[in-house]
Structure 1
Amino acid sequence: MRYVIASATASKLAVMADRLGSAAEFRIGSVAETWHGCSAMVLWWPFAYERHGGTPEAGIAKVLLNVRDDAPELVLATPPGPGLTTGLDPVEADREAFACAVLGACIGAYRKELPGQENSTVLIHLEAAALDRGDVEATASGIARVLREENRGPDTMNVSGPRSEQPTNQGFDCRRSPS
């Protein structure tokens, strides 16, 4: 799979580009300005379900169909936290692990629901995915973990078994990296 990292904020995008290098393509602008050529996009769960329907389940990322012509055809809804919360304590939880778990869950759900998407391009718009808050360096590290795991191939990801047995991160190792 290919990835497009986008943001409306140049400084955040610069941090992502420095950290991720050639692992992704980088675009600046709104979702409307950056989604072209992408087959799916990661979208923060409250926005995803409000705009595209479906029923959120705590800890589960889902693939939703976009019937509007305003973004990619597929929407990867981020997993809600326990009790359908944002999933991150506003006191600033571990941003690296959060970004890894959220993105890992979305990519895992996409691979499970639609196998054989190796040639697709996924838009990760930082603001639309709610990955723009807090420490951008830590968020970039979390995204880097997922992309690194992705480069190893789909066989390394744990996306089999019943939903109740699957971790939110769909098998990605989201433990904090050693300092």
Structure 2
Amino acid sequence: MDQDGTSLVFLGSLFWTVFPAGQTSSPLPLQNRWPGLPLTIEAAAYSKMDNKLYFFKGRRVWRYSSSNVDPGFPLRSSELGLPGHPDQVFTYRHLVVFKGQRYFVLNFGILTPDSYYPAAWRTGGASPRGPTGPSTTLMDMYTSSRSSSTGALTPRRCR
């Protein structure tokens, strides 16, 4: 979701807006709403904590306030203590970034990873089939678009 309460769906260089009543926009290029983004992205997440949208591509992170890139961005993901080419990102009190069998948690207030991360991700079972690509929400389950592992995320695990 974004600051307007609409859901955003990303695929390659395009995005769709899904409004609360269920209507869907036509696909639009990312740059129509977020000038300065690369042609395609790998992951995206919206944070209610700081009212920002975070976009990931390669080893770069862009942070937007509405449609404006924030000063100082894009940053190298390593400057934030995060991996490049994330498998999945979402917000759950903090920004959670999955890469392979590890996950990282970024504190929005100071834009640094919490000291006890990265941590190993425990997996088990097979993941359900579904769409691949960036996701802006994740409820109780992490499903990597690049692997076949799932696991439950609880508030205790993501402080």
TM-score (ref. length: structure 1):
0.29
Which structure has more helix as a fraction of its residues? 1
Normalised by the length of structure 2, the TM-score is 0.31
Higher normalized strand content (fraction of residues):
2
Greater relative contact order, per chain length (Cα 8 Å cut-off, separation 6+): 1
